[in-house]
Amino acid sequence: VLLLLLLLLLLPVARVSAYVQQGGAYRFPTAPFDANADGSIDRAEAGNAAHFASPGRRAEVTTETELRDAMKNPYVNEIWIAADIALASGEALPPIRELRTLHVFGKCSPTGEDATFHGGDGECALDAAGASGIFDVYGPARLVMRGVKLVNGNAKHGGALAVWFGSAELSRVRFENNAAERGGGISNWHGEVELRDVTMKDNIASVDGSHVYHWGGHMKVYGDSTINGKPFSCVRATGAVAWNDDAGPGHVFP
């Protein structure tokens, strides 16, 4: 009876809260905002802090602004990229942090399913135009990606993807024309990275790991994964391994 009375007291005003990002971390806002009678949120009233979402939301994006908004929204756990997107702002996408797991899927094939892989057509491309990196994953966050092409990324570590104590699971993802000091395509620092049917092409690094740079943590590469058309694989790297154009099992360093 007491529980029922408590629920009745809470019914007249629906209140919702959402995380607000501050300095790369998420916190709850100091004051919640009122929802409309039908449960929707007034965007003009709520502002950016509302994030306009419910837990477990899927977002379909076709522009850089939509993609950035979806990545900033902690309630979005699945992003469908439905068009090639040029990252014209010159900044990497918002980092994936905290306990978040984010799924990113390409949806550019004619059937609307995840992108066709070996033909080269149909993959949704994220193009950084050489002005920035693309994805950063900080532990214990997790990124799952399929059917996406990451091109022209440029960063000190991980031209297209940098994993810092986090985890990334990639399937049918293409890395092309990315550049970095270490890890032109991917840099993994003490994280968990799993690559399946991943294509590396024409990535460069000024120090080591033109395509992949792995320092600590764990890395597994399998399936039809290639570097400039040559197969590369890794059962379970735990130390320090880099892949330049040599493909194969990579080379141990220093």
Q: In order along the chain (254 residues), what is the average pLDDT of each group of 10 residues?
A: 58 39 37 43 43 66 97 95 95 96 87 44 86 98 97 98 98 97 96 96 94 92 92 76 74 67
- Give pLDDT, residue 38: 47
- Give pLDDT, residue 245: 74
- Give pLDDT, residue 232: 85
> Buried (b) or exposed (e) across 176-195, using 16+ Cβ within 10 A?
bbbbbbbbbbbbbbebbbbb
- Give pLDDT, residue 221: 92
- Give pLDDT, residue 4: 58
Q: What is the pTM of this model?
A: 0.75
